[in-house]
Structure 1
Amino acid sequence: MKKITSILIAILILTFSQIKADEGMWIPLFLKKYNIEDMKKKGFKLTAEDIYSINKASMKDAVMIFGGGCTAEIISDRGLILTNHHCGYSSIQSHSSLEHDYLTNGFWAMSDKDELPNEGLTVTFLVRMEDVTSQVLNGVSDEMSYDEQEKIIAKNIEKVEGKAQKGNNYKISVKSFFYGNQYFLFVQKVYKDIRLVGAPPSSIGKFGGDTDNWMWPRHTGDFSLFRIYANENNEPAEYSENNVPYKPIKHFPVSIKGVKKNDFTMVFGYPGRTQEYLTSYAVDMIKNKINPHRINIRQNIIDIMSEDMEKDRAVRIKYASKYARVSNYWKKWIGENRGLEILNAVAKKEETEKQLTEWINKDEDRIAKYGNLLPDFKKLYSEYTPYKLAEEYFYEAIWRMESMKFSSKMASFIRNSEKDKDAEIEKIKKYGKKFFKDYNVSTDKKIFKTLLKLYYENAGSDFQPELMNMFKTFSHFDLDEETILNNYVDYYFENTFYLNEDNFFDFIEKYNYGSESNIKITETPAYNFFYDFVNVYYAKIKPNTEKYTSQINKKTKLYMRALMEANPEKNFYPDANSTLRVAYGKVDTYEPRDGVLYDYYTTLSGVIAKVNPEIYDYNVPDRLIELYNKKDYGKYAENGKMHVCFIASNHTTGGNSGSPVINGNGELIGVNFDRNWEGTMSDIMYNPDQCRNITLDIRYVLFIIDKFAGDKRLVEEMDIVE
């Protein structure tokens, strides 16, 4: 244990002592020791304690996890929070209907009583974080197998989390950094009554839609407003009419002074996942063997949804949120592959591995410790890839079928009804109500057929369930595959009663736990389809992906350590893992390709120039055009122009959506919402010359709230810095 600890301490001290701001997502606990002087040189005027402190109010107390995968920030002393429109999209959509189409028309609460509750939505604050590496690695030695090490680590983590437990409103977790070479404890506080306050029409909040997603120049007003409510003691509470607006200990002042090139910027948020230290074999698998299939599957779903949404306004409302979820990473994976190809990423990784091999071979101890690493990686990824591809097809194709998820709920319903029938009936009725609100059987049927065919043709012959034998069985009757598939799809939907709303609720109202009721469920084609595929996944796919992932993780832990030892001059930072991080850089332009220079900001004139009533993504409200024509921008304009977005060199990823973008004075200047397409490979390989985070200028946010929506009470409760 002492040997491991001493090596790790030496590595980590060496690593953090050479931090630069070119890239990276830095741990806020270490800012004072490793980052703050560099930040000040670049324009930051506050202290490390102003960003992260457990002894006084700091920026960390105004930044939170929004829902399950975004960031948000507090912008008033009454718990008003700002995040992205796309982060609040499902909440906005859940309140929308043909009568109250908030997606199309926007929503603005003109008083507290108009603010809308959102069941299940939470925000999570960091209370404190603590390095617990020594406790977690206590009793672990190099001589142990990987599985032995993991068992001890798991027990130690359980002990650490148990000692830190503080009550029902707190979330306690220990997370791994540097592939298991360092561990931190996180104590978080969760608030559960979060209400929708304001959202612009989608024609502003999603302007450019999926056409412009991940792209620069950008003109999207990607924001929404919510409010945290608490009990009379300012503590977390379930929704109640008696709850009151939360009183934060810290909120961000809002600057309308604007930005200029080379201004200091900082992004403070919860980046989800990066993989900066993958081997060439991993990058090759992702780029050449996995991403092309992911892209093709989602392209097929998008094509079907898009066609149906364009034909029917009701379908557009039902599938708006689903379409957004599917298209988000479809576009990202396309850009990621493009970026990796341009960077020649696999070859660069191979060069790194060549240099590492030369370093290893210069020392007998290194050969003994690291000599087999790269040959082992090559073998492991060769064997792992077929299982990984099958897993992707299970989740991207089969699990994306709406009926598959419903069947999963029905299976849980049967399983749990014996214990508490009444409670389970209420749960499944609630799920059914939500499901059918946003369900169109015709769309689902088309997607089901397409995805089933893609799985059959690409997932691999070893991973086909018994039902796929229908193609062999019925081919003997001179039926082609298309006819067989069409017949099965018709049979599937016509004979699964619970995919019909009336039949489902009629059955649930009469449900009595017992063989007759349960058999009616279990005899449906959809239910059997669900179990056939789940059985294949758990019998043939999951055990093998877990086996190879475990072996790869074991090697990667050593590989990470070898990279650090071999490159003492290189700056390493931990991969993102949905924990609070600081990224800092500057407002800057970039050249996406030879002869092209992109400026660092966009304006409302660019929005108007894109307007095309015939293209849904480029429609805007008449009110916005009217304000533009009158140049009625209030105090939010700069030299007669209404700035919309800007870019900077902060290293961000998914999860940073909604993150505050902060200037050198600690004031809010924008809301992070995207990356440029040329930089989407940054999760795997970062290029500071090309990678830019895209920020919604806070002045455009205020302009929309104040001048477009006329909800002046929201602006009045903010601390505006002019």
Structure 2
Amino acid sequence: MFKSVVLPVALLGVAASAGADEGQWQPHQLPQLKSELRRIGITIPAERLADLSKHPMNAIVATPGCSASFVSPDGLVVTNHHCGYGAIQRNSTPEHNYIANGFLAKTRADELPGGPNTVVYVTEKVENVTDRVLKGLAPGLSGKDRHEQVEARIKALIAECESDKAYRCSVPAFNRGGEYYRIRQLLIRDVRLVYAPANSVGDFGGDIDNYEFPRHVGDFSFLRAYVGKDGRPADPSPDNVPYQSKHFLVVSAEGLKAGDPILLAGYPGRTSRYRLPAEIRFARDVDYPAKVASITADLSVIAAATMGNPDYTVRYASVAKSLNNVLKKTRGLLDGFARKDIAAIKDAQDTGFRTWYRQHGTGPKNLLADLDAAIAADMATAQQETAWMEATHSDLLKSARTLYRLALEHQKPDAQREAGYQERDVSFIKARLTRLEQSFVSSVDQARWRAALVRYARSDAKARPYGLDALLPAQNALAPLYKNTELGDTTRRLGWIGRDADAFRKSNDPFIQLAVHLHDVGMALEERRKEVDGNLERVVPLYMDAVVAWKKSQGKPVYPDANGTLRVTYGAV
């Protein structure tokens, strides 16, 4: 008997004793696995599991960066504690510290606004649009031109899908650019905080226990989705009503026993199962150590700059929580590399694949050489991007750069604007700029940026974007920028939306001036990334096609790496 469907993020204690078969399958792939699902005791028909309009898949939803699920007919949503942390922090003050003490809305009138970044996505439709993205691309295009043509097609597909403004659509790549699926999600914009445990419960064991199993922790929070009286998504309003979820999950009161089937569904971030040995070594030796060093230093600065000030501590609680989460995960990955020689395992797999390809592969003869060159360019560009992020590690500078880029893109027809700066994105930009009000202190931002500039100055000069050094302020000369800017004020910050590019060039605001001066360097790096991505998008899908053929020759099925989209796996307790 199949007892329950649970989210991977909310599985908690079950995860310690549940064994999952390998795979992060797209729902439409499940009918191919029906005999295996039946074998372990999952009685829900595979065809129903592939139908996003039916139970249980219609109950599986997402919040930004997290998995969640409906657990009542009235829009009640359960997700992880850290996934509700932004809403918890937004409503906390030193006097009403819901982070430390928890929160419970005893009535719906007591529920608190989640804030502009707290939304719920309900996936309603997924369709294969690979041909519409890739068919007819000229073979001789440069990487940049190819990437931009693909992006133009994706933007057209999204615009077509979003003719109904209740929906947010996306066209992510699967199999590293070999397939594209258009995903239509209902976007619920009024989401309220219902319950959060005290931090001593929701974060019991702290980051030492994070990502460790078995783990004893109350890692959950409850939100509620609201819509207009017509049942359609609406901006936050006291007149809104709870969303009537068509389907929701029910916790089994029977509990679980050894051998019970488990189906896991959610929105996992990213996996790297098909990375090449060179990419694994780059992660192990360069990328992950740099990330650990940077985040560790940043957290130390935040702790020192907020010490003794309860208001500052509350403002940066969500930032610190997010950084600690990434830090623990990255350290865990490095520990995994230390315990097991993943690169050597990848070497053996790669050697086997290359031998097979030379004998049986039907793709281009120069595929392997082109692949290695594209990966090398990707890694070199990634190092420059890391240096750029350190050099510009200021929330006010990021805001200024976003505002200036928005003004520049606004000069173009909407379809020609860069993704992320179209009309469909303006409300999200406003939300980010508004959210800063609850998570920013000038002195803390300045301390973080100063420390980041020190780290940048110590980095390999060859790995820095060309021309950037000459444009950056001195580490000891940041105070005047913060003293003379108006961007720390939310109303004035938002007031820059809609101004033309010339107003930015004439501005005396030091952060606006710096954003203008940095723009060309940033664009050069962005253009390089497009060239690299275009070449990857051309060669890696051919590689993945060959990998699929190689796996099939061994009788092994293939699923795409996780990319933040809805996935399913299964196993038994």
Query: Which band: TM-score by shorter chain?
Result: 0.7 to 0.9
Deviates further, 268-277 or 303-312: 303-312
Q: Which residue matches 2:334?
A: 337
Contact (CA 8 Å) 1:273, 1:575: kept in 2 or not?
yes
Q: Report SS of the residue matched to 2:218.
A: coil
Q: Which residue matches 2:522?
A: 537
1:42-191 paired onto structure 2 within 5 Å: 42-53=40-51, 57-66=54-63, 68-120=64-116, 121-139=118-136, 167-191=164-188
Contact (CA 8 Å) 2:177, 2:540: kept in 1 or not?
no
Query: 1:342-371 deviations in whole A, cap 9, x for unaligned?
Result: 3312222222222222223335x74xx344
Q: Which residue matches 2:12?
A: none
Query: 1:453-490 deviations in whole A, cap 9, x for unaligned?
Result: 1112215257367684599xxxxxxxxxxxx9553234
**What amino acid is the match of 2:29?**
F
**What amino acid is the match of 2:222?**
L
Contact (CA 8 Å) 2:353, 2:550: kept in 1 or not?
yes
User: How large is the Cα RMSD of the aligned pairs?
Assistant: 3.8
Query: 1:162-186 deviations in whole A, cap 9, x for unaligned?
Result: 6655511123343432233333332
Q: How far apart are 1:391 and its partner, in Å?
A: 0.4
Residue number among 498, 501, 510 corresponding to 2:486 in the alignment: 498
Contact (CA 8 Å) 2:380, 2:463: kept in 1 or not?
no
2:65 and 2:73 map into 1 onto residues whose CA distance is: 24
1:85 and 1:242 map into 2 onto residues whose CA distance is: 28
Query: 1:284-323 deviations in whole A, cap 9, x for unaligned?
Result: 2222122211111111101111234443322211110111
Q: Report SS of the residue matched to 1:219.
A: coil
1:382-461 paired onto structure 2 within 5 Å: 382-395=376-389, 397-408=390-401, 411=404, 434-458=435-459, 460-461=461-462
2:304 and 2:315 map into 1 onto residues whose CA distance is: 14
**Kindly tell me: are residues 162 and 445 of structure 1, through their superposed partners in 2, closer, same or farther at Cα, counting changes over 3 Å?**
closer
1:233 paired to 2:230: yes
1:454-473 paired onto structure 2 within 5 Å: 454-458=455-459, 460-461=461-462, 463=464, 468-469=469-470
1:558 and 1:470 map into 2 onto residues whose CA distance is: 41
Contact (CA 8 Å) 1:449, 1:486: kept in 2 or not?
yes
1:23 paired to 2:22: yes
Q: How far apart are 1:87 and its partner, in Å?
A: 0.7
1:428 and 1:329 map into 2 onto residues whose CA distance is: 23
1:295 and 1:429 map into 2 onto residues whose CA distance is: 31
Q: Which residue matches 1:573?
A: 559
Q: How far apart are 1:415 and its partner, in Å?
A: 7.1
Q: Which residue matches 1:286?
A: 283
**Kindly tell me: are residues 25 and 168 of structure 1, through their superposed partners in 2, closer, same or farther at Cα, counting changes over 3 Å?**
same
> Which 5+ residue runs of structure 2 have no aligned equivalent?
1-18, 412-426
Query: 1:604-646 deviations in whole A, cap 9, x for unaligned?
Result: xxxxxxxxxxxxxxxxxxxxxxxxxxxxxxxxxxxxxxxxxxx
1:515 and 1:172 map into 2 onto residues whose CA distance is: 29
Q: How far apart are 1:586 and its partner, in Å?
A: 2.6
**Kindly tell me: are residues 146 and 572 of structure 1, through their superposed partners in 2, closer, same or farther at Cα, counting changes over 3 Å?**
farther
Q: How far apart are 1:550 and its partner, in Å?
A: 2.2
**Kindly tell me: are residues 399 and 65 of structure 1, through their superposed partners in 2, closer, same or farther at Cα, counting changes over 3 Å?**
farther
1:341 and 1:94 map into 2 onto residues whose CA distance is: 39
1:248 and 1:128 map into 2 onto residues whose CA distance is: 16
Query: 1:649-671 deviations in whole A, cap 9, x for unaligned?
Result: xxxxxxxxxxxxxxxxxxxxxxx
Residue number among 475, 487, 490 corresponding to 2:476 in the alignment: 487
**Kindly tell me: are residues 101 and 155 of structure 1, through their superposed partners in 2, closer, same or farther at Cα, counting changes over 3 Å?**
closer
Q: How far apart are 1:544 and its partner, in Å?
A: 2.4
Q: How far apart are 1:389 and its partner, in Å?
A: 0.7
1:554 paired to 2:538: yes
Q: Report SS of the residue matched to 2:343.
A: helix
**What amino acid is the match of 1:405?**
K
> Which 5+ residue runs of structure 1 have no aligned equivalent?
1-19, 419-425, 472-483, 588-722
Deviates further, 152-161 or 345-354: 152-161
**Kindly tell me: are residues 208 and 38 of structure 1, through their superposed partners in 2, closer, same or farther at Cα, counting changes over 3 Å?**
same
Q: Report SS of the residue matched to 1:266.
A: strand
Q: Report SS of the residue matched to 1:498.
A: coil
Contact (CA 8 Å) 1:107, 1:200: kept in 2 or not?
yes
Q: How far apart are 1:225 and its partner, in Å?
A: 0.8
1:314 and 1:173 map into 2 onto residues whose CA distance is: 38
Residue number among 33, 46, 50 corresponding to 1:35 in the alignment: 33
Query: 1:399-431 deviations in whole A, cap 9, x for unaligned?
Result: 43223224336646987999xxxxxxx999998
Q: Report SS of the residue matched to 1:321.
A: helix
Q: Report SS of the residue matched to 1:217.
A: coil
Q: Which residue matches 1:376?
A: 370
1:258-273 paired onto structure 2 within 5 Å: 258-273=255-270
TM-score w.r.t. length of structure 2: 0.82
1:608-623 paired onto structure 2 within 5 Å: none
The count of residues paired between Structure 1 and Structure 2 equals 536
Q: How far apart are 1:340 and its partner, in Å?
A: 2.9
Contact (CA 8 Å) 1:465, 1:532: kept in 2 or not?
no
Query: 1:647-696 deviations in whole A, cap 9, x for unaligned?
Result: xxxxxxxxxxxxxxxxxxxxxxxxxxxxxxxxxxxxxxxxxxxxxxxxxx
Contact (CA 8 Å) 1:465, 1:533: kept in 2 or not?
no
Contact (CA 8 Å) 2:81, 2:220: kept in 1 or not?
yes
2:60 and 2:39 map into 1 onto residues whose CA distance is: 24
Contact (CA 8 Å) 2:27, 2:51: kept in 1 or not?
no
Q: Which residue matches 1:274?
A: 271
Contact (CA 8 Å) 2:41, 2:261: kept in 1 or not?
yes
1:470 and 1:136 map into 2 onto residues whose CA distance is: 39
1:621-636 paired onto structure 2 within 5 Å: none
Q: How far apart are 1:155 and its partner, in Å?
A: 6.6
1:586 paired to 2:572: yes
**What amino acid is the match of 1:25?**
Q
1:232 and 1:436 map into 2 onto residues whose CA distance is: 30
**What amino acid is the match of 1:561?**
D
Query: Which of the pair has more CA radius of gyration?
Result: 1
1:575 and 1:79 map into 2 onto residues whose CA distance is: 30
Contact (CA 8 Å) 1:413, 1:428: kept in 2 or not?
no
1:328 paired to 2:325: yes
**What amino acid is the match of 2:546?**
A
**Kindly tell me: are residues 572 and 417 of structure 1, through their superposed partners in 2, closer, same or farther at Cα, counting changes over 3 Å?**
closer
**What amino acid is the match of 1:584?**
Y
**Kindly tell me: are residues 389 and 158 of structure 1, through their superposed partners in 2, closer, same or farther at Cα, counting changes over 3 Å?**
closer
2:293 and 2:168 map into 1 onto residues whose CA distance is: 38
Q: Report SS of the residue matched to 1:171.
A: strand
Query: 1:481-535 deviations in whole A, cap 9, x for unaligned?
Result: xxx95532344444x333666xx979999xxx899996884352x4444344443
